[in-house]
Amino acid sequence: MKQLVKFSTSISIALMMCVTATVAQAQQVLDRVAVIVDDGVILESQIEQLIKQVKQSDNFSAANAPSDEVLRTQATERLIQQELQLQMAERMGIEVSEAQLDQAISRVAQDRGMSVDELRETTVASGQSWPAFREQIKTEIITSQVERASVQRRVSVTPQEVENLVNLIEQNNSSPTEYRLQQILIGVDSEASSEKQEAAKRRAEAVIDRLNEGDDFSQLAIRSSSGSNALDGGDLGWMTENTMPTLFAEVVKGKGKGEIIGPIRSGVGFHILRVADKRGEQVVEVQEVEARHILIKPSVILSDNKAKEMLSEFRQQIMDGEKTFAELAKEHSADPGSASRGGDLGWSRPDRYAEEFKQQVSTLEKGVISEPFRTQFGWHIVEVMDRRTLDATQESKRDKAYQMLFSRKYREEVDTWRQEMRDRAYVRVVAK
């Protein structure tokens, strides 16, 4: 009898092992490695999830949808670029803390006119899990930091260029026009054979024919463009002639809303543009804040949570009248430039600070001490002591001219940087 029980138990264990192996095999089939990218991989589930998101976006129309094969190609290419940037971020030591991620998600919710809880409910209702959404936002933060750090080094703006543009702006007092552009890029390397270049030009001309016949630009961008913004309907955002690439400025000037422009040849291929919208420049007054802060930097011996707790205690001591802001800043702040002045940062424009710091000084009421918040430099509390509005000065003109020149050169350089990164990478699509 004992032998029979032992035999039955062995059969049960064997069956369980078979079932487990079958389930594991099914899971591998459902989520396999689709692409090898240098030292990393892209999973099939990642591609399917991105395609799903694209199909749920406002730019996607089921009536004029591109084929699943085209969508897959576009999604795969975006994930390859993303994976390369994530690997680069790891080598550069770029990280995003939970506190930074929470602040970024709060800004996303605010931009959408809802609370974080409402954003979570909306996200889950759309079919995406909340942890997956948080990971998506974290990835976007990291990749944008990698792009800025890599491309900024390649952009140079000389003082003479700034002065020349300031003089040009002063000579032309009329408000510059802003254009919202969309782009379809038919990619072809400048060193490609004449046959390949001619074939790419014919494809671009065929796209223009389709647009002239009434095809939707956003759908054609998703289907045909090799630009990094293809899945966004080719949207390049708002630009003036001074902030868009020089190549575009030469042909866009004076064009009306809805006009199609191209094909325009550049080093990365043939560009087709559409003026999605057009508006005059908005007059913005320059505002400055006088603020002071206390910075605590986490370290090997000071944890992230402990740094935050310290600032919470300092804030309470100030509010209870036990210590002054200036005293605590001189004793504890890790910002050597302001600690000796009691944390005083002087007068400055909010947009000159890190994004999280900018959000605080832009929204805090005068005399109110913020709750502890995180930036790339560490944990802060900040108090806005005063605000003022300034008329345009020569300094602000130079700043504006510099930003225009930098924006133009940055836009021209970023596509080249992405292409070079892609060309250097080892990429292999794994056959099904």
Sorted by where each begins, the domain ranges of the chain are 1-30, 286-390
**Cβ-proximal residues to 46 (8 Å cutoff; 6+ apart), any chain:** 34, 79
Per-residue pLDDT tens digits for 190-217:
888 889 989 999 999 999 999 988 899 9
> Do residues 354 and 100 lie in contact, with contact meaning Cβ atoms separated by under 8 Å?
no
Asked if residue 152 has pLDDT above 70, the reply is yes
Would you call 51 helix, strand, or coil by DSSP? Answer: helix
State the Cα–Cα distance between residues 295 and 5, nearest whole angstrom. 69
Confidence of residue 391 (pLDDT cuts 50, 70, 90): low
State the Cα–Cα distance between residues 108 and 277, nearest whole angstrom. 24
Confidence of residue 312 (pLDDT cuts 50, 70, 90): very high
> Do residues 247 and 226 lie in contact, with contact meaning Cβ atoms separated by under 8 Å?
no
**Cβ-proximal residues to 172 (8 Å cutoff; 6+ apart), any chain:** none
pLDDT for position 106: 93
pLDDT for position 371: 95
For the chain, how far is it from start to end, CA to CA, in angstroms? 50
How many residues are there in the chain? 432
* 59, two tokens: 């730019």
- Which range has the worst mean pLDDT, 151-155, 271-275, 276-280? 276-280
Per-residue pLDDT tens digits for 352-389:
899 999 999 999 999 999 999 999 899 999 999 999 88
Tokens 């809802």 correspond to what residue?
114
pTM greater than the 0.85 cutoff: no
How many other CB atoms sit within 10 Å of the CB of residue 293? 24
What is the mean pLDDT of the segment spanning 400-408? 90
State the Cα–Cα distance between residues 389 and 405, nearest whole angstrom. 25
State the Cα–Cα distance between residues 96 and 370, nearest whole angstrom. 21
Sheet bearing 235-240, strands edge to edge: 235-240, 177-187, 269-280, 260-266
- Indicate the DSSP class of residue 350: G
**Cβ-proximal residues to 51 (8 Å cutoff; 6+ apart), any chain:** 68, 71, 72, 75
Q: What are phi and psi of 386, to 5 degrees?
A: -165, 165
What is the mean pLDDT of the segment spanning 211-235? 90
One-letter amino acid identity for 1? M
CATH 3.10.50.40 for the 286-390 domain, yes or no: yes
pLDDT for position 15: 36
283 vs 276, residue with greater confidence: 276
Strand partners, 278: 179
State the Cα–Cα distance between residues 234 and 232, nearest whole angstrom. 5
DSSP for 270-317, please give it: EEEEEEEEEEEPPP--EEEEEEEEEEE---SSS-HHHHHHHHHHHHHH
State the Cα–Cα distance between residues 179 and 201, nearest whole angstrom. 25
Torsion angle defined by CA atoms of residues 109, 308, 357 and 418, in that order, rounded to the nearest 10 degrees:
-70
What is the mean pLDDT of the segment spanning 275-285? 70
**Closest to 162 (Cα-Cα) out of 407, 412, 415, 413:** 407
**Closest to 176 (Cα-Cα) out of 257, 236, 239, 235:** 239
State the Cα–Cα distance between residues 357 and 285, nearest whole angstrom. 20
What angle, rounded to 10 degrees, do the helices at 68-92 and 44-56 form? 120
Asked if residue 175 has pLDDT above 70, the reply is no
316 vs 19, residue with greater confidence: 316
pLDDT for position 393: 56
Torsion angle defined by CA atoms of residues 167, 354, 154 and 249, in that order, rounded to the nearest 10 degrees:
-40
- Which range has the worst mean pLDDT, 13-22, 144-153, 214-223? 13-22
pLDDT for position 177: 80
